[in-house]
Structure 1
Amino acid sequence: MSFIYDVLTQIGGMLRPYNNDIALALVASLLVITGGDINRYLKRQISSANFVVRTTIFIFVCTFGYGALTVLLTNILKTQLAALSSMYLAITVIGCFIALGVYAERKRQI
């Protein structure tokens, strides 16, 4: 058990300098996987509007909406990852990427 703890602590220590990059990768991956659903929902909501309005809304959602979500969620996630001990950081990062992979598989993204 001590060996597993030591390995996870070492992995977490190696990951710690990359918290911002890891948080960005997780958020970006989640937005890529769910982006189609978000766009479909938005399309249904604005389908009766004219072309110019639909296009303008889509541009604002894609540029400002996804951009703001990426920045805000990355900062929140980075802060949460920084608060974890090295052992739990390793477990959390590995678990999150596995969960995203499973989620992407279920949504037939991979």
Structure 2
Amino acid sequence: MDKNQSIAAFGALSQETRLDVIRLLIRAGTEGMAAGEIGDHLGVRQNTMSANLSVLAHAGLIKFVREGRSIRYFADFDGIKGLLTFLLRDCCGGRADLCQPLLDEIACGC
């Protein structure tokens, strides 16, 4: 992920509902959630949720698959990893060994 993509991702995450959505989808893991389920779980109207999901997808933080008339959303773990990698690329003055405990803690086997 480059600087401009990271700015878009942080912009997407800077709104409360979108932050709640990404955290919810991370918890949902590889099963993801239907758009209606996300809205119901967070108490957000369908049209508002649709706009928020669009912003997150455009920022590369979520992905989706159409299932008939429904759309299932998933956390885009590659996009999230790209954002974290961008942030930590030069951590600790190039001494990656100093950052290893942090990297181990946030590593996901998803």
Structure 1 or 2: more helix by fraction: 1
Task: Give 1 or 2 for the bigger CA radius of gyration.
Answer: 1
Structure 1 or 2: more strand by fraction: 2
Higher RCO (Cα < 8 Å, 6 or more apart):
1
Sort the TM-score into its range (normalised by shorter chain): 0.3 to 0.5
With the length of structure 2 as denominator, give the TM-score of the two structures. 0.33
